[in-house]
Amino acid sequence: MKSQNSLAEIKATRIKRNLTQADMARLAGIPLRTYQRLESGDRGSKLDTLLRALDALGLTMTTVSKRRPSLDELDDLYGNE
């Protein structure tokens, strides 16, 4: 999930589980204000903070490569038709 999607997922999951922001901060092992900044989308938030919040909820983040496949990779996938 993209970081903005991750933030929305964290907040939605927190609310669904009836957790307060203070609960989340405690579970993630971070200060409350740090968690509040993360959830509000503060651009200064660190990746480690995001990962701690995801981990506290049992969620993961995946990454997707933006590079395009080479012609050889496409040929391997689709063959020469």
**What does the pLDDT look like over 43-79, one tens digit per residue?**
889 999 999 999 999 998 887 778 888 888 888 888 7
Using one digit for the tens of pLDDT, what is the confidence trace for 1-44? 445 688 999 999 999 999 999 999 999 999 999 999 999 999 88
pLDDT value at position 73? 84
Q: The domain that contains 21 carries what CATH number?
A: 1.10.260.40
Owning domain of residue 40: 1-81
User: How high is the pLDDT of residue 1?
Assistant: 43
Q: How many domains does the chain have?
A: 1
User: How far apart are the C-alpha atoms of 66 and 53, rounded to whole Å?
Assistant: 25
| Burial category of 57 from C-beta neighbours within 10 Å (exposed 0-12, middle 13-18, buried 19 and up) | middle
